[in-house]
């Protein structure tokens, strides 16, 4: 009788006073709705079409690098989806924390267009498979020509699903080994070492990737830029904010409770949900966390640096992709004047043919 009363008491007492997973799930739903509206408007618009490549030729070497990266990204995506999502789900019926991070970071792809939120600082190669971009529909976006930003569907899209979870998984393994070796006396040092490792990875990864001609930085803050003023320029502050985002994912993955719950899923297992409902709620909670981190730790801080750009790379037509320069109503900046920002109504434009442009600026507009 006493044991029955104790079981009844345990079943009627709330398992947690603050259902954190529900709060994070609500955040995830809000972001997913915003994503669906933004990308839905893009798909339903006349801008849902490949970006113009222009007249500048693509060399055989550049074409090889472009297509090779699309193949590598596709294979990486397939392997990541099997290793982190499908295999654990098949074995246990539950999404692992890695699977949730993989899928959640895939939904964060819509924030990739925020690189050009206030300024044109980033480009992709318009020869890659693309249908333009939803960047023009991001609330508050003021950079010109973002309907033609060639967001590569087989490249960037797959990398958002595959790369972040892979790096977080590797970083977590390193973090655990460092914790075991350094002991509890230095609790923050393992995270610092992993963060510095992420910095090094990003610098090597992006500088290699830029040289495949898939993407690059058209405008940077010169004093914090490697190879400034060249097609291979790389802003070091990008590594700082990217690594801050990644260390957040790594820590989320590394600190699970005895039930396998991350910090944003606390109390979920105790609710006794079905596997399907538990997977959905866990995914939404992790999505809320990932979207928040990408926006507030990565993209918005990057925009603070983007407002200081003063160094510009020369761009061929397939990198300008109809965003600015010859054949568009927007002049590409080259350092002799600031990057123009406009809204959808075309307020404040600097034409590529403006006679007041310097000879250097005119040369930057292309043919």
Q: pLDDT (tens digit, 9 = 90+) per residue, 55-82?
A: 999 999 999 989 999 999 999 999 999 9
Q: Could you identify the residue written with the tokens 């985002």? A: 245
Phi, psi of 21, rounded to the nearest 5 degrees: -65, -30
- 194: region left, alpha or beta (phi > 0 left; psi from -120 to 50 alpha): alpha
Q: Which two tokens stand for residue 330?
A: 């927007």
Q: Is the pLDDT of residue 362 over 80?
A: no
Asked if 203 contacts 239 with a C-beta cutoff of 8 angstroms, the reply is: yes
Q: Which two tokens stand for residue 314?
A: 């020369």
Residue 6 pLDDT: 45
Residue 10 domain flag: no
**End-to-end CA gap in the chain:** 88
Work out the pLDDT band at 327, boundaries 50, 70, 90: confident
Residue 270 pLDDT: 79
Domain hosting 343: range is 331-367
Residue 8 domain flag: no
Q: With the C-alpha atoms ordered 144, 146, 149, 155, is the resulting torsion angle positive or negative?
A: positive
Asked if 340 contacts 120 with a C-beta cutoff of 8 angstroms, the reply is: no
- Tens of pLDDT, residues 206-224: 999 899 888 999 999 999 9
> Picking from 167-176, 282-291, 310-319, which range would have the lowest pLDDT averaged per residue?
310-319
Number of domains in the chain: 2
Q: Are residues 283 and 344 in the same domain?
A: no
Beta-sheet strands, E only, within the chain? 122-124, 215-217, 219-220, 225-226, 234-235, 311-312
Q: Are residues 319 and 272 in the same domain?
A: yes
Q: What is the pTM of this model?
A: 0.87
SS3 347: coil
Q: What is the DSSP letter of 331?
A: P
Burial of 295 (0-12, 13-18, 19+ CB in 10 A): middle
Q: Is the pLDDT of residue 91 over 60?
A: yes
Q: Which two tokens stand for residue 158?
A: 């797959």
Q: Are residues 226 and 94 in the same domain?
A: yes
Residue 14 domain flag: no
Q: Are residues 204 and 351 in the same domain?
A: no
């Amino acid at each position: 009788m006493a044991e029955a009363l104790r079981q009844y008491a345990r079943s009627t007492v709330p398992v947690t006073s603050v259902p954190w997973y529900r709060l994070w799930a609500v955040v995830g739903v809000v972001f997913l709705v915003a994503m669906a509206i933004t990308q839905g408007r893009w798909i339903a618009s006349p801008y849902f079409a490949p970006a113009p490549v222009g007249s500048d030729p693509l060399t055989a070497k550049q074409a090889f690098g472009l297509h090779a990266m699309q193949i590598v990204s596709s294979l990486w995506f397939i392997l990541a989806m099997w290793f982190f999502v499908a295999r654990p789900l098949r074995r246990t019926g539950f999404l692992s924390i890695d699977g949730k991070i993989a899928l959640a970071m895939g939904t964060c792809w819509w924030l990739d267009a925020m690189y050009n939120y206030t300024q044109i600082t980033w480009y992709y190669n318009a020869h890659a498979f693309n249908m333009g971009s939803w960047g023009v529909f991001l609330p508050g976006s003021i950079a010109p020509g973002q309907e033609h930003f060639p967001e590569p569907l087989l490249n960037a899209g797959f990398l958002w699903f595959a790369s972040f979870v892979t790096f977080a998984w590797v970083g977590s393994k390193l973090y655990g080994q460092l914790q075991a070796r350094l002991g509890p006396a230095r609790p923050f040092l393992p995270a610092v070492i992993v963060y510095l490792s992420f910095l090094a990875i990003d610098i090597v990864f992006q500088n290699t990737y830029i040289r495949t001609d898939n993407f690059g930085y058209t405008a940077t803050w010169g004093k914090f830029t490697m190879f400034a003023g060249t097609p291979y320029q790389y802003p070091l502050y990008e590594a700082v904010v990217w690594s801050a985002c990644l260390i957040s994912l790594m820590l989320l993955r590394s600190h699970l409770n005895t039930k396998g719950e991350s910090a944003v899923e606390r109390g979920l297992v105790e609710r006794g949900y079905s596997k399907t409902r538990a997977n959905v709620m866990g995914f939404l909670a992790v999505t809320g966390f990932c979207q928040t981190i990408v926006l507030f730790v990565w993209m918005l801080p990057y925009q603070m640096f983007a407002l200081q750009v003063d160094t510009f790379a020369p761009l061929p037509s397939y990198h300008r992709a109809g965003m600015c320069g010859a054949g568009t109503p927007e002049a590409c900046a080259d350092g002799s004047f600031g990057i123009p920002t406009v809204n959808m109504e075309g307020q404040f434009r600097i034409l590529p043919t403006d006679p007041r442009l310097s000879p250097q600026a005119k040369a930057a507009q292309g043919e």
